[in-house]
Amino acid sequence: MVDALRSSVWLYRLAFLGLAALFLFLKLLPLGSLAGDWPGPDILLCLIFAWVVRRPDFLPVPLIAAVLLLDDLLLMRPPGLWTALVILATEFIRSRAALTRELGFVTEWLLVAGMMVALLISYRLAFAFAFLPQPGFGFALMQTLWSILCYPLVVAASRLAFDLRKPATGEVDAYGRRL
């Protein structure tokens, strides 16, 4: 039973890596790259938040860091800045796992939306402090708004495709530890 649980966790981690690779590949494709087009949502960020809120044990920090650092390098962003900010945000949410377990979906959505807006502001402030050129604020704000609007779809897809749900209050794993 313990081996089944351990392999289940690793299967979820492999599924996350596969989805992350797919989303990174789609980001690199030259789809809709005309000037003036609306930016798409950051589905990878939505996926990370959805999985950390539901099952924080499935996404350890090194896995998130590796995927996001690769994302930074492939998209030619300052390496590590976005990674560090997202890890801080996920650890903030992970530390409140007991609280988010009891919350309804709308409150969870507002929490994640607040984290996405905080990420936007802190990322832009870091660029401003370093005097780095940055895309227009409207572009970044629109991407954040699209990401916030896509979060429920990512949660629903994770629930339907992977049966990823919040553990019930008092639910324990095979070792007898509370989830």
Q: Evaluate whether residue 36 is within a structural domain.
A: no
Q: Evaluate whether residue 177 is within a structural domain.
A: no
Q: Evaluate whether residue 179 is within a structural domain.
A: no
Q: Residue 2: what pLDDT?
A: 53
The stretches in the chain having pLDDT less than 70 are: 1-6, 32-36, 171-179
Tens of pLDDT, residues 138-152: 989 999 999 999 999
Tens of pLDDT, residues 6-33: 678 899 999 999 999 999 999 888 776 5
What are the percentages of helix, strand and coil residues in the chain, rounded to 5?
70, 0, 30
d(CA 8, CA 55): 12
Q: What's the total number of domains in the chain?
A: 1
Report the b/e string of 98-121 with b at 16+ CB within 10 A: eebbeeeeeebbebbbebbeebbe
Q: Residue 8: what pLDDT?
A: 85
d(CA 23, CA 69): 14
Q: Residue 119: what pLDDT?
A: 98
Q: Evaluate whether residue 175 is within a structural domain.
A: no
Q: Evaluate whether residue 37 is within a structural domain.
A: no
Q: What are phi and psi of 104, to 5 degrees?
A: -75, 170
Q: Residue 62: what pLDDT?
A: 97
**For residue 12, what are the domain limits?**
2-29+43-162
Q: Residue 4: what pLDDT?
A: 55
CB neighbourhood size of 18 (10 A): 10
Q: Evaluate whether residue 174 is within a structural domain.
A: no
Q: Evaluate whether residue 146 is within a structural domain.
A: yes
